[in-house]
Structure 1
Amino acid sequence: MPPSASEILAECAANPDDDAPRLVWADLVGGERGELVVIQCDLARGGLTAAEARVRRQR
């Protein structure tokens, strides 16, 4: 049985430096909340061009 959203959130809290559980949770919940988490992870990870970062911040 796949983990529940609350189990994934507990994993996020237990591993604050690991984006993987956050991205799993984002995929699970989807919608605007999930998209926000993906964008935040992208921006925190870096490596984006200035234009890519600007587009993500505008979303």
Structure 2
Amino acid sequence: MSRDELQTALGLKDRKSFRELYLKPALGEGLVEMTLPDKPNSRNQKYRLTEKGQLAVYN
């Protein structure tokens, strides 16, 4: 999902606080990963759950 899709799915409106409070910590914990890790600022950047993230969500 894109950042915008994730933010909408979670019902959050502020882009900066979403990135700082949710996205960066999830990336740091290895719960989500970038689909284009070499281009973190790409407009085509998407995120997906890692195996660790799937376990956290579905268990």
TM-score between the two structures when normalised by the length of structure 1 = 0.29
TM-score between the two structures when normalised by the length of structure 2 = 0.29
Higher-RCO chain (CA-CA 8 Å, sequence separation at least 6): 2
Q: Which protein is richer in helix relative to its size?
A: 1
Q: Which protein is richer in strand relative to its size?
A: 2
